[in-house]
Structure 1
Amino acid sequence: MALPDTTNDTTQIVALVALFGATLTLFEYAAVYPGLIEFRDAPPFNRIRFVSLYATVVLLTMVVLSETHPTTLTRFIEAIGSTVASSIDVPYSPVRLLQLTLPSNASAAQLELVRTAAGMAYLISLFSLGYFVIVLRVIGWPHAQTQFNVWVNLPTFDPTAGGDVVDHLRRDAWFNLALGFLLPFLIPAVLKLVASSFMLVTMQSAHTLIWMVTAWAFLPASLFMRGIALGRIAHMIEEKRRLQETGGYVAA
């Protein structure tokens, strides 16, 4: 909605989608039983992800605005993104692969814009991961003094499948970590395959650029956070089992 070329129809659609998302979130968090949102009762996991997604969309919008409506703030944000992108733009890097999704006739300015947006999004995702790890260490997430309800916080997790629940959680954790590592490389390849086989997917539109780069950076970071969280929960369950076994032995 902040972009200058946004039509009235697009504004109305965005407002409708935002209203639907707000209503879904309100009902999910107000419900007693689990729904679709994971870690609903284990803050600040979802708060960190929401702030990361919000910051990515806003800052990428400012990067795009710096091309048409330059200000001191937008130029500063663009400079940060360009600096980060330059440091990680090496052959076969995710940033380089994302640039390859552009058509062959893309201008140098468009390539630079995609590279800058990728650098800014990558920086936000790294900050989010770093902050989440700090939260794990500092406040001991999830809190040891509170009850962690697996049914409410992991509504799609089946503790009866896959053998022991600790092993199941650790397998899921490693799967999420591996997928989060591979996604920055896989997403550009999938976009290139779809563009060449089925339909034209281009980031020459400002809206498409912002949302595609946001998804490219946010989804891997979100999977990394989920994998770390699942590993933490598995460790917590294992520690509680050990304490119970030790306590039972001493009491006997």
Structure 2
Amino acid sequence: MSNFNQESVLSVHHWTDNLFSFTTTRNPSFCFRSGEFTMIGLKVDEKPLLRAYSLASAHYEDRLEFFSTKVPGGPLTSRLQHLKEGDEIIVSRKATGTLVIDNLEDGRNLYLIGTGSGLAPFLSVIKNPETYLRFENVVLLHGCRRIAELAYGEMITEKLPSDELVGDFVRYQLIYYPTVTRDPFHNRGRITDLITSGKLFTDIELPELEPQHDRVMICGSPALMRDARELLVARGFVEGNHGEPAQFLVEKTSAKRNSLSPSRTMVLHES
């Protein structure tokens, strides 16, 4: 278990029947960049049962936070969703991931596109002061089926603007745009449809996406990542990666399964 730290659960919050989040202690030696993920899990039958989770906490915070979907019958989430304060989990000592601003070229506007628990890495990104120093506007798009699934809305709109470190940046540079597909709401529709129709840009009063000035990060369902990638490529955007900064980034789920998994572990991909 030398590849892992043992952490204690500090809090658990169930947003809906399908979504929950939890916070844990943080080993002082664990370092990560905002937007990265790590492997976390539980020890089952003397083996670590693991899954990749994006870090929803900022890189400077003294706790770790994770946001998860409850996968029906999922070997790990079926256990994690029953966590309570004081329980212990294991956390890899390493973090990695595509969704860091270092992997983007300089630009004017940064679009963060997430669905469901794909919001997690962007919660970290919007708490990073460096994000606002790199980009004039930061547009956070969160798409869900139901209003109740728009987790962290109060934190984004009410608490973060008063944050001592990033509050000023948030008030003047962050645009939060939640949207749902199945409930009456002031923003309705799939994110890619709102981009294609131009309604998004009318609502937020910014020009339509173009590769000269805009940068994009994407995390969420396979359908979102596929459709958003196709939309951006059709508009002339170039995808970036580690060591090759470009104009948009997509979280690599295959990397989540394999890049941080040491030998003799059970690595899951439940969703």
TM over 0.5: no
Larger fraction in helix: 1
- TM-score, normalised on structure 1? 0.22
Give the greater-gyration-radius structure (CA): 1
TM value normalised by structure 2: 0.21
